[in-house]
Amino acid sequence: MDKAKNNDIKELIEEGKFYFLNQKYNEALQYLSKALEKEPKNIEVLYTIGIIYESINNLDKALEYFKRVIEIDPQHEDAIFHINSISENQ
């Protein structure tokens, strides 16, 4: 991956996390979705989107993103934890 693209994705992720931490979920999803378009298998982005959907109680969408993380990294403990937690509470 070239350096400019890598920096661009990092910036989009940082912006997304900033908005998430400030509970501006729609803005966070916009930035993270742009990062995902550039790098569809970015585990950090997929996981963070899952966390956002879980935070706004859209559990089906959250599960979808956590499962995408597991498809790429079957040992991702945090994603496994959230999948199990959501599944137990549905």
Structurally, the chain folds into a number of domains equal to: 1
Domain that holds residue 28: 3-89
- Measure the CA–CA gap between 64 and 86, rounded to whole angstroms: 11
For residue 57, give both structure tokens.
């109680």
What pLDDT does 52 receive?
Answer: 98
pLDDT for position 49: 98
Task: Return averaged pLDDT per consecutive 10 residues of the chain, 90 residues in all.
Answer: 75 97 97 96 98 97 98 98 92
Question: The domain spanning residue 64 has which CATH number?
Answer: 1.25.40.10
The model carries a pTM of 0.92
Question: Are residues 11 and 17 in contact, defined by beta-carbon separation less than 8 angstroms?
Answer: no
